[in-house]
Structure 1
Amino acid sequence: HRVNLKEGRIKECASRCRYPPMAPNTVASATRRSNVANSSSQKFIARNRAPRVQIEYDVELYGAEKKVQLPFVMGVLADLAGKPVEPLPAVADRKFLEIDVDNFDSRLKAMKPRVAFHVPNELTGEGNLSLDMTFESMDDFS
């Protein structure tokens, strides 16, 4: 999708649209689309890694209008460490980290996210059990 800030409206990019809008109550076309999407969507994403959001605006340079495109960048500020064993630096001293599919597990291992709490002992019915878990990769969540 493209957003034209000067005109204040959203234009759909025809080159990225795979199918025309679907009319309501068209079961046959919905079934066809879902089968096609299921079989080839992962391959399509792998081939076309273009950003999903593109923002552009018009700028006047030396009397001529030029379209300038802004890259889509997202920053997430979150406390993902849980209950760390070692105290974290102050928020003002922390740095942004670039995380992608290739370095996700190494970043997760370096952050050492940890949960620690007590749960009722349902096995014997007496007291609580201490739970302390540290995560190092996405496989730890399965």
Structure 2
Amino acid sequence: MLKVGDKCPLFKGIDQNGDEFDASTVIGKKRCVIYFYPKNETKVCTAQACAFRDAYETFKDNNCEVIGISGDSAKSHQAFAENHSLPFVLISDGDKSIRKLFEVPKDFLIIPGRYTFIVDENGIILEIFHDAAGSSSHTKTAFNVLNIDPL
């Protein structure tokens, strides 16, 4: 698995609008919180996405972009983003190529893992956080690692 201090991999994927997203437009240019989650519209994943939504302006104000990635389709991501007013990009990883690039393991042997990668403005991984059942803990960890005051 990738580790703290590694260069964050660059990737491309299709976002919730059906457009190609190229991570090189943000990685190495601003701080990033890249979070992998199992599935749209499930209880914990929705709570996690909404925690990032509620904190998004604070992240943006601190030169940080939030990127959510799951195996759901772009169409599913679009509905998820609309249902919960998610202002950040959601990337479809149906073939699991981005998950493999980041070496994200499964939780409980079958569920796609819930991992958050916190990346500095130079593209270096500052922290890798895993909490299979947590939702807001990923946001709190990102604030702490990036020295962002959430208030």
Q: Give TM class, smaller chain.
A: under 0.3
TM-score relative to the length of structure 2: 0.20
TM-score relative to the length of structure 1: 0.21
Higher relative contact order (CA 8 A, sep 6+): 2
Larger Rg: 1
